[in-house]
Amino acid sequence: MTLQVDLNADLGEGAGHDEELLALVTSANIACGFHAGDANTMRESIKAARHHGVAVGAHPSLFDRENFGRKELPVTSDEVFDAVTYQLGVFQAIAEAAGVRRNHVKPHGALYNMAARDAGLAKAVARAIVVADPTLILFAPGKSALASAGQANGLRIAPEVFADRNYLSDGALVPRSRPDALLHDPEEAAVRVLRMLREGRVRSVDGVDVDVRAETICVHGDTPGAVDFACALRSQLEKEGVTIRAPESSS
């Protein structure tokens, strides 16, 4: 069986090593200004991704720069729709000016987690993407409200898993407030990712196997040691015969 997967990273967030990560990943999720970045960083990130042949996607967030978009806030579906529509519009204009085709959308942080479990917020995100460009791929957890909403609105879904995050027995990510939220060993991560690809399962921190689907794997660009982690992970996956390639939109 030939295995193929995308390797994505959240970029344009000021971590300082985007160029190194762009040499390793196949998809870049670029901050759209609400949690990090601005018009200039979007333009520079898009141009850098084009130079490296990396697929470009928007990384919209709740409007919360103070908490880097990682704090869950009380928002309505209309507020989420407006926030995502706004960010995708800005991102789309900058990408078009740079002559780069947009490939996907991946919500950031708290917005991602909230939409993964809340059908109303998930629908708002999906509707905003359809308004912006219905050919865009939505990165989302495979069995989530966000994936379901995307499918219901005719979007292509790329089920996403996380190489550097641990899982709970319900399939959710371990909250970052816990000391066991992050996985730092790339060899351990590679073993886990290979099992996700081959068996569709991941072992939770509670010792329970959780069903997952993996078409794209996230490595967080702001995690300490992110470049070394991504390099070792990619090298190990390729040694195991896994093809690393971005998903292609229908546009």
For 171-220, what is each residue's pLDDT tens digit? 889 988 899 998 888 889 899 999 999 999 999 999 999 999 999 999 88
Token pair, residue 90, equals: 């800005």
Residue scoring higher pLDDT (251 or 95): 95
8 A C-beta contact, residue 43 and residue 54:
no
Residue 1: pLDDT above 60?
A: no
Give the pLDDT score at 120.
98
> What's phi and psi for 97, nearest 5 deg?
-65, -30
8 A C-beta contact, residue 208 and residue 152:
no
End-to-end, the C-alpha distance of the chain in Å comes to 28
Banded model confidence at residue 16, pLDDT cuts 50, 70, 90:
confident
Domain boundaries, the chain: 4-244
Give the residue among 25, 16, 12 at the shortest CA–CA distance from 233: 25
Residue 64: pLDDT above 60?
A: yes
* Per-residue model confidence as pLDDT tens digits over 18-37: 999 999 999 999 999 999 99
CATH architecture of 4-244: Alpha-Beta Barrel (3.20)
